[in-house]
Amino acid sequence: MSHDVSALPGRFDVAVIGAGVVGCALARRFALAGARVAVIEKAVDILDGASKGNSAILHTGFDAPVGSLEQSCVAAGYAEYLEIHGKLGLPLIKSGALVVAWSEEEEALLPTLMEQAHQNGVADVEALDETAMRSAEPGLGKGARVAFRVPREYLIDPWSAPYAYLLQAIENGAEILRGAEVTAGRRSDNGWVLETSRGTVDAGLVINAAGLWGDLLDEKLIGRRDFHIKPRKGQFVVYDKPAAKLASHILLPVPNKITKGVVVCRTAFGNLLVGPTAEDQDDREHAVLVTETLEALKKRGEEILPALKDQQVTAIYAGLRPATEFKDYRITAHDRTYITVGGIRSTGLSAALGIAQHVLKLAELNLAAPADPVWPTVPNISEFSPRDWQTEGHGGIVCHCELATKREIQKALDGPLPTKSLAGLKRRTRVTMGRCQGFFCSAEIARLTEGHFDRPMAEKAQ
């Protein structure tokens, strides 16, 4: 494929490399500021890297390091999500969280953590003695001692949110190039010419939001890297919907130095998840599930909520967080034409909108914001708001476990950002994500998606 042919015609004010949650939020913020934005993604669908597997929580940042960039981005991202979610059709499940101490040592740490929350502007944390804790969460296991409540930790839909951000960017003029890996870049008189596997992109400002590949992309484009990505794997076990009644709060552990630890919480889709693990690895591409680890997660889940013993597992997954040797995010404007947004590890979903605000300031562009920006809404796939199957004309249910309709599937396959892979379709519609994992609906989905995917689910037999 020729590298000299323009993949997206014209000149862009900004090229965002990477369509994870951070890239999608950046595209939205710059498009709303009036920039002409190109988003370049190497996978065939968006959210294919770190953003495909997280714990789907909107954090307040109560436990972030005081004074850190992470804390300010999480706080700003949290505030903006609350402001915009309704307009974009995104769910917000006001579950609240409990930080639960399971040992004397952990109990001793709670006052410090609550003080940290206050310093981070989360002033409504509230200590619960054992009685109050058990009345808030009657299902907690015997080992739970005391807790404190963080009332404004919420659950969101981790895939519809970034999709909505990118959709709004597109509706306000941004363009997306998928299946295009940035192979090289050269500086031009007033910015960059990026070479991708699908042709060139000409942009004034390049923003590296390449997540797990961020350090390597810096090396490729600016010849150096200021950090090293050390992928941290997190494995999760997801329980079937009846398990969701076992806990109403997000149950957070007392964090240790490396990780927030194993969380138990409901999901926006009405399931209950247990995870993540925190396992450092070199591999940036493969997030491998390990039976013994999943069994250990189940066991830990059953200590936290003993009634989980009688619940069925629906799904297992593993994600990679783009951790670095540094604790804080690595967001740097190297010059007026190149900004790196790196090391956005486990809090990316909560912080993305805040990161985008921060990066827009760093960019110091002279832009004229559109007076009347477009506000698209995305289809709701959360269990906590009305679903498509409740409205007539849906064409019938295709995925019985998740009640995904034919109309929902067709919408995801058409429209301004059609999905190109089964993984993408799952994130947009929930198909095959339920308890039967495709037993009933795989064949029909193979037919409905014929001609839409880069790799068909199944070839025609003759």
CB of 323 to other proteins, least distance (A): 20
Q: Give min distance, CB of 399 to other proteins, in A.
A: 10
Cβ closer to other proteins: 311 or 324?
A: 311
Per CB under 8 A, which region of 136-144, 173-181, 255-263, 451-459 contacts other proteins? 451-459
Q: Of the candidates 183, 190, 312, 377, which one interacts with other proteins according to CB under 8 A? A: 312
Which letter does DSSP use for residue 380 in this model? P
Question: Parallel, antiparallel, or unpaired: how do β-strands 199-208 and 191-196 relate?
Answer: antiparallel
Based on the shown chain and the rule CB under 8 A, indicate whether residue 307 belongs to the binding site for other proteins.
Answer: no
| Binders in 116-175 for other proteins, by CB under 8 A | none
Residue 146, helix vs strand vs coil: strand
Helix (H) or strand (E) holding 349, with range, is helix 348-363
**Residue 205 CA, distance from chain mean position:** 24
- The residue (of 258 and 289) whose beta carbon lies closer to other proteins is 289
Q: Select from 86, 288, 326, 361 the one that contacts other proteins (CB under 8 A).
A: 288
| Stretch of 63-71, 140-148, 294-302, 346-354 contacting other proteins, by CB under 8 A | 294-302
Q: Are 244 and 311 within 8 A, CB to CB?
A: no
Indicate which single residue of 66, 108, 391, 414 sits in contact with other proteins (rule: CB under 8 A): 391
Helix axes 21-32, 348-363, angle to 10 degrees: 40
- Residue of 287, 349, 378, 412 interacting with other proteins (CB under 8 A): 287
Choosing from 9, 223, 393, 451, the residue that interacts with other proteins (CB under 8 A) is: 393
Residue with tokens 């740097």: 332
CA geometry: angle 416, 421, 425, nearest 5 deg = 70
Find the shortest distance in angstroms from Cβ 98 to other proteins: 25
Under the binding rule (CB under 8 A), the answer on residue 238 touching other proteins is yes
Is 180 among the residues that bind other proteins (CB under 8 A)? no
Of 136, 315, 362, 365, the one binding other proteins (CB under 8 A) is 315
Tokens standing for residue 248: 């109403």
In the bound complex, what is the minimum distance in angstroms from residue 40's beta carbon to other proteins? Answer: 20
| Structural contact between residues 19 and 178, judged by C-beta atoms closer than 8 angstroms | yes
Output the six-digit token pair for 90.
């995104």
CA distances from 282 to 20, 217, 287 (A): 20, 16, 11
**Quick check: 282 binds other proteins (CB under 8 A)?**
no
Subset of 317-356 contacting other proteins (CB under 8 A): 317
Strands (DSSP E) along 311-458, which ranges?
A: 313-321, 330-335, 338-342, 397-399, 404-405
- CA dist 381 and 411 (Å) reads 13
Tokens representing residue 352 in the block: 């993305």
What whole-number distance in Å separates Cα of residue 6 and Cα of residue 200?
4
Site string for other proteins, 32-71 (x = CB under 8 A): ----------------------------------------
Residue 263 CB neighbours (<10 A): 22
Nearer residue to other proteins within complex by CB, 61 or 270: 270
Structure tokens at 88: 């974009």
Tokens of 284: 């940036």
Considering the rule CB under 8 A, would residue 84 count as an interface residue with other proteins? Answer: no
Residue 281 found at the interface with other proteins (CB under 8 A)? no
d(CA 150, CA 137): 14
- As to burial, measured by CB atoms within 10 angstroms (0-12 exposed, 13-18 middle, 19+ buried), residue 440 is middle
Q: How many residues bind other proteins (CB under 8 A)?
A: 53
Task: Kindly state the smallest distance separating residue 386's Cβ from other proteins, in Å.
Answer: 10
Distance in Å, CB of 447 to other proteins, minimum: 5
Is position 443 an interface residue for other proteins (rule: CB under 8 A)? yes
| 447 binds other proteins per the rule CB under 8 A | yes
Quickly tell me which residue has 């429209």 as its tokens.
415
Rounded to whole angstroms, the Cα distance separating 46 from 388 reads 23
If the CB atoms of residues 36 and 428 are measured against other proteins, the closer one turns out to be 428
**Beta strand 397-399 with 404-405: parallel, antiparallel or unpaired?**
antiparallel
Residue 403 touching other proteins (CB under 8 A): yes
Minimum CB–partner distance for residue 383 and other proteins (Å) = 12
- Contacting residues toward other proteins, per CB under 8 A: 237-238, 240-242, 285-291, 294-295, 298, 310, 312-317, 389-397, 400-401, 403, 422, 435-440, 442-444, 446-447, 455, 457-462
